[in-house]
């Protein structure tokens, strides 16, 4: 290469770098944005001729200009021609590749694979119940919905809550909000922006305040979708759904009417809610946006666990060297002040909890994201650390004060009714209809999660105690009328610091899966034994309406839950629980005798029992 060639080459490289520098810029957080997308204060932008006085845009979006998000024709000063290709409400999944995804490609890629986008678990379980698939663990995506019995059921009743559902109107987040892509979580209307809504609809040029797109994600953003199904949002606030009509509500302290006219009764709020801790204080980026991987069910996708913050001596500790680009960017935007760059991480996969830190005394704190208040993280109580007796019991199994429970539902298809396709947003002929028999709120039933990783006692709720009538659906070759009794693993989000009492598990028929009723240990007559009288009448399968299994029944059915690795107690496990339950006929829960029994394996403790102890006899 000659000196002349080298000089020309360097000149060409310099010219190209200059062009790149003119076209692209990186802000302080490493977010690339294009200078070809006119800055909102740049006088060369045709947008500001009509919209130059807009306020309220978050600082990180002020730099990138109008057309980066809204597109349109920036070369024209005429309204009609400048609005060609305009996206009035950018951020829906249908346009995210060309709007939000330009600057946030990794976030969009993660979101596309998230459960909020796919609805995999909801779809796969529904198809399994209808007989379309052989397993509830099949990966599925809401975009694959067809028009068979299961998918039509989803279209009529379950397909409104997903990120791909389009936001089509200017409006702040409400209890009726569903979907909206990036807007679902990140769109915030100030009081000024709200006040202008009626003006915007009549004259867009009168707008002075733009809603903000930011990280100020409140519980209101979650409520629209998560007040349905497992009702996590309402549970967390202490409200339980009823079958009452809104006209019957007279006491607003005890009852609450939602915007969709459902009536909720106050039971007990989660202790974290009472402390002002919001959803995103626990559920971080990976929990919500996803980590790019596909998951069948939410418990697989969620990283956070109670033990991550409430630890004894085994915390997962990370520092700034463990953060990836996304974590560093979030941390920079959040700008947590006076905090050492040492974080707690999740035990599941060492995902950093960016709003945690250790002070100079090595005490751990959580920072509330809404107001930066520092909350001390407490270690588990003494009873939580008694290894021998309760080492396999999950936190929520013991500390969930109540869980929503629906029993005796009936679902059938009406071929002449006018249905509504929630997925497509249009009316259709024929509709699935559900009739709920009763909504209940009590401490959850207990079940066993057993897989290669671990064996754990978890909270369980009736996922489906229902009759499914497909007889009127044309073309269905499946069982016409089927009865299902399936429970589901649950994390009710109704945490109480006190936890369940010993008897609420060991002598409670609901906890054991028998349903509500009178479970009694009789030792005055021979032989000493447990008896059970159910509160609810039997359904067509011969079990009480709220039961999971029969009294002292050894579960032998192929499927008992909405998961392939979640089961009711086996007969031997029931006996172990009830043997301890019999002890409480004489011994108080806090007695030294019962405390001692937790320190060693129960089979060993049985050998130390007094000859006066009366144990139940099982047939």
Same domain, 115 and 81: yes
Evaluate whether residue 137 is within a structural domain: no
Q: What's the pLDDT score for residue 5?
A: 57
Evaluate whether residue 560 is within a structural domain: yes
Among 443, 408, 434, 407, smallest CA distance to 235 is for: 443
Q: What's the pLDDT score for residue 22?
A: 39
Same domain, 364 and 445: no
Q: What is the mean pLDDT of residues 432-440?
A: 93
Q: Please write the tens of the pLDDT for every residue from 206-215.
A: 678 999 999 9
Residue 32 has pLDDT above 90, yes or no: no
Among 95, 147, 93, smallest CA distance to 118 is for: 93
Q: What's the pLDDT score for residue 8?
A: 55
Q: What's the pLDDT score for residue 525?
A: 79
Domain boundary (174, 192, 214) is at 214
Among 225, 590, 576, 236, smallest CA distance to 400 is for: 236
Q: What's the pLDDT score for residue 442?
A: 96
Residue 487 has pLDDT above 60, yes or no: yes
Say how far apart CA 221 and CA 175 lie, in whole Å: 8
- Residue 170 is classified by DSSP as -
Give the count of beta carbons closer than 10 Å to the beta carbon of residue 474. 8
Evaluate whether residue 135 is within a structural domain: no
Q: What's the pLDDT score for residue 7?
A: 53
Q: How confident is the model at residue 385 (pLDDT cuts 50, 70, 90)?
A: low
Lowest-confidence pick of 107-111, 208-212, 396-400, 418-422: 208-212
* More confident position, 595 or 344: 344
Residue 15 has pLDDT above 60, yes or no: no
Same domain, 289 and 195: no
Lowest-confidence pick of 43-57, 234-248, 281-295: 43-57
Answer for the pair 70, 87: CB distance below 8 angstroms, yes or no: yes
Q: What's the pLDDT score for residue 518?
A: 98
Share of the chain above pLDDT 70, in %: 90
Q: How confident is the model at residue 38 (pLDDT cuts 50, 70, 90)?
A: very low
Domain boundary (262, 277, 292) is at 277
* 466 strand-pairing partners: 409, 484
Q: How confident is the model at residue 134 (pLDDT cuts 50, 70, 90)?
A: very high
Answer for the pair 119, 127: CB distance below 8 angstroms, yes or no: no
Same domain, 579 and 594: yes
Q: Please write the tens of the pLDDT for every residue from 240-250.
A: 999 999 999 98
Among 181, 165, 164, 183, smallest CA distance to 173 is for: 183
Same domain, 198 and 240: no
- Residue 256 is classified by DSSP as E
Same domain, 414 and 521: yes
Evaluate whether residue 3 is within a structural domain: no
Share of the chain above pLDDT 90, in %: 69
- The bridge status of strand 212-213 relative to strand 187-188 is antiparallel
> At CA 266, angle to CA 178 and CA 302, rounded to 5?
45
Q: What is the pTM of this model?
A: 0.90
Please tell me whether residue 268 adopts helix, strand or coil conformation.
coil
Same domain, 243 and 273: yes
Alpha-carbon dihedral sign for residues 315, 309, 562, 223: negative
Q: What's the pLDDT score for residue 26?
A: 43
Domain ranges, residue 178: 9-119+161-214
Q: What's the pLDDT score for residue 133?
A: 92
Q: What's the pLDDT score for residue 18?
A: 41
Same domain, 404 and 532: yes
Among 441, 548, 439, 538, smallest CA distance to 484 is for: 548
Q: How confident is the model at residue 40 (pLDDT cuts 50, 70, 90)?
A: very low
Residue 471 has pLDDT above 60, yes or no: yes
Alpha-carbon dihedral sign for residues 173, 179, 182, 185: positive
Answer for the pair 562, 573: CB distance below 8 angstroms, yes or no: no
Same domain, 370 and 472: no
Same domain, 431 and 362: no
Q: What's the pLDDT score for residue 34?
A: 37
* More confident position, 214 or 603: 214
Evaluate whether residue 156 is within a structural domain: no
Both structure tokens of 152: 């039509």
Evaluate whether residue 408 is within a structural domain: yes
Evaluate whether residue 132 is within a structural domain: no
Say how far apart CA 239 and CA 285 lie, in whole Å: 27
* More confident position, 314 or 551: 551
How many structural domains compose the chain? 4
Evaluate whether residue 611 is within a structural domain: no
Domain boundary (331, 346, 379) is at 379
Average pLDDT, the chain: 88
Check whether the bond before 137 is cis (ω within 30° of 0).
Answer: no
Q: What's the pLDDT score for residue 1?
A: 54
Residue 2 has pLDDT above 70, yes or no: no
Same domain, 360 and 491: no
- Residue 616 is classified by DSSP as P
Q: What's the pLDDT score for residue 111?
A: 97
Q: What's the pLDDT score for residue 205?
A: 58
Say how far apart CA 616 and CA 613 lie, in whole Å: 10
Q: What's the pLDDT score for residue 202?
A: 57
Q: What's the pLDDT score for residue 207?
A: 75
Q: How confident is the model at residue 14 (pLDDT cuts 50, 70, 90)?
A: very low
Say how far apart CA 221 and CA 32 lie, in whole Å: 27
Same domain, 182 and 54: yes
* 222-231, long-range: CB < 8 A, 24+ apart: 222/279, 223/175, 223/177, 224/161, 224/173, 224/174, 224/175, 224/176, 224/177, 224/178, 225/161, 225/178, 227/175, 227/258, 228/161, 229/122, 229/158, 229/161, 230/404, 230/461, 230/490, 230/492, 231/404
Residue 405 has pLDDT above 80, yes or no: yes
- Residue 396 is classified by DSSP as H
């Amino acid at each position: 290469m000659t000196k002349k060639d080298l000089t020309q080459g360097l000149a060409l490289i310099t010219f190209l770098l200059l062009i790149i520098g003119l076209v692209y810029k990186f802000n302080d957080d490493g977010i690339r944005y294009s200078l070809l997308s006119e800055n909102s204060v740049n006088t060369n932008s045709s947008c500001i001729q009509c919209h130059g006085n807009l306020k309220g845009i978050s600082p990180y979006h002020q730099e990138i200009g109008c057309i980066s998000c809204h597109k349109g024709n920036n070369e024209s000063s005429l309204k009609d021609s400048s609005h060609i290709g305009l996206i009035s409400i950018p951020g829906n999944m249908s346009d995210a590749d060309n709007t939000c995804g330009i600057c946030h490609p990794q976030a969009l890629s993660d979101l596309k694979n998230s459960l909020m986008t796919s609805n995999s678990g909801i779809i796969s379980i529904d198809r399994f119940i209808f007989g379309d698939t052989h397993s509830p663990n099949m990966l599925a995506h809401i975009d694959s919905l067809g028009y068979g019995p299961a998918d039509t059921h989803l279209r009529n009743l379950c397909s409104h809550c997903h990120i791909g559902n389009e936001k089509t109107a200017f409006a702040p987040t409400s209890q009726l909000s569903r979907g909206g892509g990036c807007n679902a979580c990140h769109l915030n209307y100030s009081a000024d922006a709200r006040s202008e809504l009626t003006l915007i609809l009549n004259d867009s040029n009168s707008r002075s305040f733009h809603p903000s797109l930011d990280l100020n994600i409140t519980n209101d953003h979650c409520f629209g979708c998560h007040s349905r199904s497992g009702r996590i949002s309402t549970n967390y606030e202490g409200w339980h759904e009823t079958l009452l009509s809104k006209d019957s509500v007279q006491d607003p302290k005890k009852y609450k009417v939602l915007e969709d006219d459902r009536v909720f009764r106050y039971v007990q709020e989660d202790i974290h809610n009472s402390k002002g801790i919001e959803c995103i204080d626990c559920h971080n980026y990976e929990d919500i946006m996803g980590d790019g991987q596909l998951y069948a069910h939410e418990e697989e996708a969620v990283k956070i666990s109670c033990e991550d913050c409430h630890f004894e001596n085994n915390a997962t500790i990370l520092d700034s060297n463990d953060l990836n680009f996304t974590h560093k960017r979030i941390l920079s935007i959040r700008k947590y002040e006076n905090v050492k760059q040492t974080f707690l991480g999740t035990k599941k996969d060492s995902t950093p909890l960016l709003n945690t830190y250790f002070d100079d005394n090595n005490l751990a704190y959580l920072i509330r994201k809404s107001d930066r208040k520092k909350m001390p993280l407490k270690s588990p109580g003494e009873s939580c650390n008694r290894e021998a007796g309760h080492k396999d019991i999950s936190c929520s199994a013991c500390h969930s004060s109540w869980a929503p429970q629906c029993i005796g539902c009936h679902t059938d298809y009406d071929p002449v009714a006018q249905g509504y396709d929630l997925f497509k947003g249009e009316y259709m002929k024929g509709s699935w209809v559900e009739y709920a028999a009763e909504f209940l709120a009590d401490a959850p039933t207990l079940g066993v999660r057993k897989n290669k990783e671990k064996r754990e006692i978890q909270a369980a709720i009736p996922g489906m105690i229902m009759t499914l009538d497909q007889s009127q659906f044309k073309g269905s070759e499946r069982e016409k009328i089927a009865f299902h009794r399936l429970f589901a693993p649950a994390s009710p989000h109704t945490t109480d610091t006190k936890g369940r009492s010993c008897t609420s598990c060991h002598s409670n028929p609901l906890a054991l899966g028998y349903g509500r009723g009178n479970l009694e240990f009789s030792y005055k007559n021979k032989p000493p034994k447990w008896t059970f009288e159910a509160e609810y009448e039997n359904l067509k399968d011969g079990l009480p309406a709220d039961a999971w299994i029969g009294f002292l029944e050894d579960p032998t059915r192929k499927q008992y839950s909405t998961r392939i690795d979640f089961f009711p107690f086996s007969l031997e496990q029931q006996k172990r629980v009830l043997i301890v339950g019999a002890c409480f006929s004489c011994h108080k829960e806090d007695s030294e005798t019962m405390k001692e029994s937790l320190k060693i394996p129960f089979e060993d403790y049985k050998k130390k029992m007094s000859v006066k102890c009366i144990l139940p006899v099982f047939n």
